[in-house]
Structure 1
Amino acid sequence: MNDDTSKAGGDLRAVTLHNGVTMPTLAFGCAFGDWVGRTDFQGFLPEQAWRAVSLALDSGYRAFDGARVYGTERIVGTLLGQRFASGALTREDLFITTKLAHPAAPPHINISHKRTWDPDKVDDIAQRVRDDMVDTLDDLGLGYVDLLLMHWPGGFGQHTSPDPDFPRQARATIWRTFCELADKGAARAIGVSNFTVHHLRQLLEDIPEPERRPTVNQVEIHPYCRNPELEDFCRTQGIVVTAYAPFASGALGMLQDPTLTAIAERHGKTVGQIVLRWHVQSGRTALPKTSKAERMAENQAIDDFALSDDEMQAIDALGTGEARRTCPDPSFVA
């Protein structure tokens, strides 16, 4: 086993956002269900959160990544409330992320229309964001979240507004509302999700105050899905990149990849641990998710080894060429 951890640099367990808020490097993902076509049912299954989130808390996770659309916020809030009531945890022990402004899902996906909306289909974008935030905090049973993200930069289909600049204007309206919520203390930090360089450049032009720029951009990244240009741009702007679907949502056969399995055998680690170590050594944070307690423990045990430069480059090479995604490609969002 390679015990040289000096190659990673920095703190493996936390990062500091540009507004001074400290965010754990690993958070437990709270989206449950199937959206990659492994089963006949396409949609979210929030009932799976009861057991998984309980195990995650028992396993030491203190950061949880959710979203209004996942339908798990009431469950997460109830489980946290039980720990608060027993005195086992305090609010300050936790880092809670949520996401708002998810577009309407395709017809075959079983996601509630009450939790999703397209900006061109609502009368008042800012008020819809405010109302959703109230519902989210009510379900969580919290007075604030630690990180609030704009879930998508726009809808999956063509918008109906005759103004070609409407998607950009809608993003700016949502972002200004996020800034308002942060100013009121409803969120300690604000960021975006599924934003490309194009979306980020526009947002930074429309809201140019440096302190108002996103703290985080949460995007799909795994060894088969990389975007070095996006990561480089975020790095120059001081925006932390968070990888969702860090294991490719269990799809694409990635966890059986021979390159990854060979590196795992060399270090005496699981493929999941190798992938997470690759993420953090690359300067990203990540959102691993599993329903098994032993995997939860393993996923957090990645600070006793380091990947060599050659190993990092070998994993990077798996993602050359066209990205293999398990979620929609945000580059198609205007």
Structure 2
Amino acid sequence: MHDSADDLRAVTLHNGVTMPSIAFGTAFGDWVGATDFQGFLPEQAWRAVTLALDNGYRAFDGARVYGTERIVGTLFGQRFASGELTREELFITTKLAHPAAPPHINISHKRTWDADKVGDIAQRVRDDMVDTLDDLGLGYVDLLLVHWPGSFGMNTTGDPDFPRQARATIWRTFCELADKGAARAIGVSNFTIRHLRQLMEDVPEPERRPVVNQVEIHPYCRDPELEAFCRERGIVVTAYAPFASGAFGLLQDPALVGIAERHGKTTGQVVLRWHVQSGRTALPKTSKAKRMGENRDIYDFALSDEEMRAIDALGAGETRRTCPDPSNVV
């Protein structure tokens, strides 16, 4: 049985920065086909982020590619102006270096790029960071992540080592941005064990290893080997799509429903409790105020070892993803 006390409300990254265990995700719309396909709808951020702030969220996970940074920054700015909120109360994550998106997704070509199509990778990262901070209206972010390890398509350079070299260039530029104070901590997203191994070989200073690896994890999509690899190296694992973005009927799974009924909680609360009790942080997203409150109310109960194993077992079959498989990225 795990202690359900406050020690799960935050994690300390290996560089000493404290990060809340639950953050509010700021990608809106539906780009996975869980509902009628919509693509990205940044306008939904106005109401949802306002409600999230009203419901006590102080950690927010964004990305250049989501198209919501100006909206999110404006909403923060309004509260800074009124004195209701200070910058120090917030933990802001953003992500850069998203590869060119598939043509069916409505993302601006300005927000995505493939490293083999960019003349100066480091300068592109620096320029994107300036644009991101301008949109957010902030002088720094708390956590900056490499959004994907590389392109979804073919490497067109003819150099099989290019994708690895590009990752190292992006990472060294992230280190430079952190040194300048543009980010308090730097990490990666969607990196496999192979990607992480290569990066830590190419930039071998121990203090330069990523503090976080943000990957898709939910009860139907697990990677215990990757989590163990990260844990051994002091890299915190953050679960995006912690409820599978509403796909696969996850929150109606009978095993989860049974556990939720036993604890007098919702299935969403059970899934989030499973995440934090497993040592992960998580990024739930909802547009409903009631759910926002519920998603933060997971510290007054604990799952038994048997219940944890039962939820783990849901991911033992075929992995079900809502995003591309990072192992396909060269």
Q: Distance in 2 between matches of 1:156 and 1:9?
A: 42
Deviation at 1:265, TM superposition (A): 0.2
Say whether residues 1:296 and 2:286 are aligned partners.
Answer: no
Q: Distance in 2 between matches of 1:321 and 1:201?
A: 27
Counterpart residue identity of residue 66, structure 1 = G
Say whether residues 1:26 and 2:22 are aligned partners.
Answer: yes
Match of 2:91 in 1: 95
Q: Distance in 2 between matches of 1:155 and 1:199?
A: 13
How many residues of Structure 1 are paired with residues of Structure 2 in the alignment?
Answer: 330
3-state SS of the aligned residue for 1:261? helix
Say whether residues 1:144 and 2:161 are aligned partners.
Answer: no
Q: Distance in 1 between matches of 2:147 and 2:5?
A: 30
Say whether residues 1:72 and 2:68 are aligned partners.
Answer: yes
Counterpart residue identity of residue 227, structure 2 = E
Q: Distance in 2 between matches of 1:181 and 1:126?
A: 11
Q: Deviations over 1:159-208 (max 9, x none)?
A: 21110000000000000000000000000000000000000000010000
Counterpart residue identity of residue 44, structure 2 = Q
Say whether residues 1:326 and 2:322 are aligned partners.
Answer: yes
3-state SS of the aligned residue for 1:107? coil
Match of 2:228 in 1: 232
Counterpart residue identity of residue 213, structure 1 = R
Q: Which runs of 5 or more residues in structure 1 are unaligned? A: none
Q: Distance in 2 between matches of 1:274 and 1:105?
A: 33
Q: Deviations over 1:82-110 (max 9, x none)?
A: 00000000000000000000000111111
Match of 1:317 in 2: 313
Match of 1:15 in 2: 11
Match of 2:108 in 1: 112
Runs of 4+ in 1 over 6 A off after TM superposition: none
3-state SS of the aligned residue for 2:302? coil
Deviation at 1:43, TM superposition (A): 1.9
Q: Which of 204, 207, 210 is the matching residue for 1:208?
A: 204
Deviation at 1:79, TM superposition (A): 0.1
Match of 2:274 in 1: 278
CA contact under 8 A between 1:214 and 1:239: conserved in structure 2? yes
Q: Distance in 2 between matches of 1:231 and 1:19?
A: 19
Q: Deviations over 1:49-102 (max 9, x none)?
A: 000000000000000000000000000000000000000000000000000000
Deviation at 1:36, TM superposition (A): 1.4
Q: Which runs of 5 or more residues in structure 2 are unaligned? A: none
Q: Distance in 2 between matches of 1:253 and 1:321?
A: 16
Q: Which of 194, 198, 217 is the matching residue for 1:198?
A: 194
Match of 2:161 in 1: 165
Q: Distance in 2 between matches of 1:183 and 1:89?
A: 26
Q: Distance in 1 between matches of 2:155 and 2:31?
A: 23
CA contact under 8 A between 2:95 and 2:145: conserved in structure 1? yes
CA contact under 8 A between 1:147 and 1:189: conserved in structure 2? yes
Match of 1:187 in 2: 183
3-state SS of the aligned residue for 1:149? strand
Deviation at 1:5, TM superposition (A): 5.5
Match of 1:219 in 2: 215
CA contact under 8 A between 2:34 and 2:245: conserved in structure 1? no
Deviation at 1:37, TM superposition (A): 1.3
CA contact under 8 A between 1:5 and 1:303: conserved in structure 2? no
Deviation at 1:10, TM superposition (A): 7.3
Match of 2:120 in 1: 124
Say whether residues 1:60 and 2:56 are aligned partners.
Answer: yes
Counterpart residue identity of residue 306, structure 1 = A
Match of 1:260 in 2: 256
Q: Distance in 1 between matches of 2:5 and 2:36?
A: 44
- More off after superposition, 320-329 vs 166-175: 320-329
CA contact under 8 A between 2:214 and 2:238: conserved in structure 1? yes
Q: Deviations over 1:194-223 (max 9, x none)?
A: 000000000010000000000000000000
Q: Deviations over 1:90-134 (max 9, x none)?
A: 000000000000000111111110000000001000000000000
Between the aligned residues of both structures, percent identity stands at: 85
User: What TM-score does the superposition give when structure 2 sets the normalisation length?
Assistant: 0.98
Say whether residues 1:86 and 2:82 are aligned partners.
Answer: yes
Deviation at 1:38, TM superposition (A): 3.7
Say whether residues 1:35 and 2:31 are aligned partners.
Answer: yes
3-state SS of the aligned residue for 1:208? coil
Q: Distance in 2 between matches of 1:38 and 1:22?
A: 33
Deviation at 1:322, TM superposition (A): 2.4
Q: Distance in 1 between matches of 2:272 and 2:235?
A: 19
User: What TM-score does the superposition give when structure 1 sets the normalisation length?
Assistant: 0.97
3-state SS of the aligned residue for 1:145? coil
CA contact under 8 A between 1:126 and 1:174: conserved in structure 2? yes
Q: Distance in 1 between matches of 2:132 and 2:24?
A: 18
3-state SS of the aligned residue for 1:181? helix
3-state SS of the aligned residue for 2:215? strand
